Amino acid sequence: MCGVAGYIDKTELEKNKILKCLKLMKLRGPNQQSFSNHYFKDKSLSLFASRLSIIDLNQRSNQPIKDKNLTLIYNGEIYNYLELKSELIKKGVKFKTGSDSEVLLKSYRVWGSKCVSKFEGMWSFAIYDEIKKLLFVSKDRFGEKPLYYYYKNNSFIFGSEVKYILHLGSKKNLHKLNLEKLKNYLVNGYKVLNKNDETFFKNIKKLEAGTNLYLNLKNMSIKFEKYEKKNSLISPNNHSIKQNINNVRSLLENSLKLRLRSDVPVAFCLSGGIDSSSLVSIATKKFNKKVKCFSIIDSDPKYDEEKNIDLIKKDTGCEVEKIYLGEKKNFFGRLENLISGHDSPISTLAYYVHSFISENASKQNFKVILSGTGADEILTGYYDHFLLHLYETKNNKNFLENLNFWKKHIRPLVRNPILRNPDLYIKNKNFRDHVTFNNDTFNKFLKRRINLRFKEKKYSPSLLKNRMMNELFHESVPINLHEDDLNSMNYSIENRSPFLDTNLVKYCLSIKNQNYIQNGYGKFILREAVKGYVQNDVRLDRVKKGFNANLKTMINFKKFNLCNYLSESKDLKKIIDIKKIKNLDLEKNYTNSINKFVFSLINLKIFLKKFTI
């Protein structure tokens, strides 16, 4: 795991800029920082790498890695590197290190850009070919590892974090804010932030997941290639439920086995839900690992999962460090530091909270932490999935049975009034207002309102499957991965997501729609697959709490005046009507959507203070 950056321009970088860039990269890679310079006619190319040593801790695996005409800088892990290494050795390839980085570079030499189709892992990397004068850049299928870039006026700058690009490039070109995206974040929330390649900076883009980029230095032309079509992930299978359960169990075990490969200590996030509980339980019972977990405990019963956490601890014998939330004396200071580290507003309060896990794990010298990201999106984990399932099965003979299970077991748990209507999609299959809940109300706070039309990409004719794919590629998972990466790397920790294994994702998305939910249980296939691993009370717990927290836990709104706080920002006043904030009653009717909106307002104020309009 590392940080990477690159610079191509007619103007050569000054030494102090190079050294400052490496210093900025140190958190992502505290073990080693270095760079290499390359020249072609009137162009200068600098490649930067900052290493967090996870596999082959020896300095022989430091970056940039050079192999004849090829130079690699790489952020990520190729989990199946041992299998690929064996395959390459059979082809006569020789290795000097035990790293996955060298396997990646040799794979490119043998298979060219098609090597990425062989990789199981997470990555953003760049390989420069001195002979072809070609820069090859790639990002993993699900976007676990970030890569941003600026491309204009024969200049190309890229990096794992936006701050590297801001530092290496011209302030005039790069520090322009994307006001429409900032408004979109405020009004529509985090689920709309990954609908395109835009960032909060007007001239900086993000490389999309599953994409290769080719930059020809001879003419500075750029080409993008989607190396794996998202639609290919949903070819249906005709297996029985029993076969699906067995196959998901086997695939999850194999995914976790690969992601436990590490030459440094590994820890787990444990929320108390079925996803993280499955990972911890398999690691202890299948792989006999002595597991250390980190858990957040909120006093708000809507988010408190301490009971389940204690059950998993007792059942598996894992060690759990509980981090109790309360009114934080340094809430605003910590949030400012996070926003500076992320170069963006924090998408949800959950990722302010998540930062405590990274901080505590780092203090105990953990360098890798595993989480349950992706399970909800590939195995049906949200309450609206039940209603989409009712729509999909409306003509099936067991529809009434499904409906009755939902009425008995699920409707009493649902707080959102919209999602308490079983006919929601049956009457209107295009309904999506719950995704950006209350955005019409929040739009009224803007001085210039935005278009509220919500767009969903089409991957499948199935409503349920299409919703899951949009959550996986555009709404929930990309934001979770973005925040996970930045929070973890801020404390020099690598985050891994076993549910985002290519074979596991493909298989889960191939399951028949009617089989995802059974007997009033979402994630039915997963619950059955981990039978014998996960403690039964946790395995069969239908309550979906989600990893979140209440802002009131951290701010005393009786003492804190939101309107006065926001009024301090001249830049914020250009975007919102501060006077209308007085109409927000933070003592009465404090809903989940208000919680998110207020957190976003505070974030926006801090972000604008750092990056003025």
As annotated, the active-site residues are 2
Point out which residues pair with 44 in neighbouring strands.
Answer: 9, 39
Residue 549 three-state SS: coil
Q: If phi over 0 gives left and psi between -120 and 50 gives alpha, with beta otherwise, what is residue 214? A: beta
Q: Angle 480-473-345 (CA atoms, 0-180°, nearest 5)?
A: 40
Q: 562 Cβ partners below 8 Å, 6+ apart?
A: 581, 584, 586, 598, 601, 602
DSSP output for 260-325: T--SS-EEEE--SSHHHHHHHHHHHHTS----EEEEEE-SSTTT--HHHHHHHHHHH--EEEEEE-
Q: Please report which helix (H) or strand (E) contains residue 379, including its range.
A: helix 375-379
485 vs 74, 161, 246, 325, 385, CA distance in Å?
Answer: 15, 10, 31, 22, 27
The length of the chain, given as a count of residues = 613
Alpha carbon distance 69, 473 (integer Å): 35
Which amino acid does the sequence have at 96?
K
Q: Distance between CA 488 and CA 30 in Å, rounded? A: 13
Host H or E run for residue 404: helix 399-405
Report strand pairing: 211-216 vs 134-139. Answer: antiparallel
What DSSP line would sit under 525-537, residue for residue?
HHHHHTBTTB-HH
Q: Cα–Cα distance between 607 and 283 in angstroms, integer? A: 40
Cβ neighbourhood burial of 605 (10 Å; 0-12, 13-18, 19+): buried
User: Mind spelling out the 3-state secondary structure of 177-234?
Assistant: ECHHHHHHHHHHCHHHCCCCCECCECCCEECCCCEEEEEECCCCEEEEEECCCHHHHH
Residue with tokens 């959102």: 416
Q: What phi and psi, each to the nearest 5 degrees, are found at residue 95?
A: -125, 145
Taking the C-alpha atoms of residue 347 and residue 446, their distance in angstroms, rounded to an integer, is 19
Tell me the C-alpha distance between 307 and 299, whole Å. 12
Distance in angstroms (rounded) separating the CA atoms of residues 57 and 295: 29
Query: Whole-angstrom Cα distance, residue 183 to residue 600?
Result: 10
